[in-house]
Amino acid sequence: MIGFHRPPPKPSSCELCGRTLSALTRHHLIPRARHGKKRNRRLFDRDEVHSRILWICRPCHDHLHEVLSEKEMEVDYHSREALLAHPVIHRFVSWIASKPEGFKPTGRSTKR
């Protein structure tokens, strides 16, 4: 079907922290708001832009969006490896990995 892009299959654990959770969210490695930008059209084919997705838990997802702008995600952090190489994200993911399902961090992280 033209125009339909299937996300990767949903795993049983968060693709950043590794916790096994029943509820995972889709994180677009190339933010949806930036799909139509010339840079993305030049670097990635249409299917790749729509299917580059990580299944992650809500705390990891919220943290990514607290730390990085959509432009930063598009340019420098459009892979799992790049996200985990960011020191603030790596520290958070390492910290939350041992927390139980349903754990909700309190407070806000600082950007960078």
Task: Spell out the domain ranges in the chain.
Answer: 25-96
State residue 5's pLDDT score. Answer: 61
The pLDDT confidence band at residue 84, using thresholds 50, 70 and 90, is very high
The pLDDT confidence band at residue 87, using thresholds 50, 70 and 90, is very high
**pTM, two decimal places:** 0.77
Produce one character per residue of 18-42: b if its CB has 16 or more CB atoms within 10 Å, e if not: ebebeebeebbbbbeebeeeeebee
The pLDDT confidence band at residue 112, using thresholds 50, 70 and 90, is very low
